[in-house]
Amino acid sequence: MNKIEHILAVKNRLGEGPIWRPEEQVLYWVDIDSNSFLKFDPATGKRQSFEVGLPTGAIAFRPGGMIMATQKGFAFWDNVTSSAQFILDPEAHKPETRFNDGKVDSHGRFWAGTLGDSYNNALYRFDPDGSVQIMEQGIGMANGMGWSPDNQTMYFTDTLRHTIYAYDYDPIRGTIANRRVFVHDDTAGLPDGLTVDSEGFIWSAWWGGWRITRHDPDGKQERGIEMPVECPTSCTFGGPNLDELYITSACAALGKAEKHRQPLAGDLFRLKTEVTGLTSFQFAG
């Protein structure tokens, strides 16, 4: 149990935001620093890369393509033309920021947060009708998020504060309240991307920490899994039974000597688990 497999040598500078597409049985993720996203079919080993043209922090599916959170705000990706149409940028007045992680909730709303402005970053909710709401402010670095299986709790990571927060979540209105510390850990690395499994446990990747952790719904660490790379970035469940944890990583922060010591940095990994994940939702706009 808990044996990490090295799946794909991609040497992503900043691999992030993995998302499993059940209809295709393939994995998608972004390489933020390479201005692109990737697609991988585990059954055939085929890998494809798509140029976006600017740093893209997160992607999610929508009819006919994807929604993206980028350096210039929200965009739609068209699968036919393989091009991005930029919709709006709520932080156009802050050229130093970009969008980072993001996910779609059970009612088809796209949540995404920013980084780059010290502790003045924000979490946004982009609704299917095209409106945007600021949901949280004063963030150090917006990162991994997810929802409990019963949709009553939302989890959100502030990387610079070494903290994963939990909120009461109203799935009908799409609101969050009663923020509290779910996990705070400054012992080894920084909390990055996360995913939630069908048992309501949270899996978090720890940038600089050489590890993945699993926490029960009360925040207690249930297990820690050593990684062969220093900077795992995020994780998601995939495979025919959603019982395979795919893990992205990065090499951009490593010097030449560190890259030599970590030849797998930036690659894609997989962990077979005894639990299953939750199916990702599609943006409704």
| Residues whose CB is less than 8 angstroms from the CB of residue 59 and which lie 6 or more positions away in sequence, other chains included | 17, 19, 28, 29, 30, 37, 66, 67, 68, 69, 77
Q: Of the listed 158, 192, 197, 267, which one is catalytic?
A: 192
| Residues whose CB is less than 8 angstroms from the CB of residue 52 and which lie 6 or more positions away in sequence, other chains included | 35, 36, 37, 68, 70, 77, 84
Exposed e or buried b for every residue in 41-74, given b needs 16+ CB within 10 A? ebeeeeeeebebebbbbbbbbbeebbbbbbbbbb
Distance CA 115, CA 14 (A): 15
192: annotated active-site residue: yes
Q: Report, as residue numbers or ranges, the catalytic residues.
A: 192
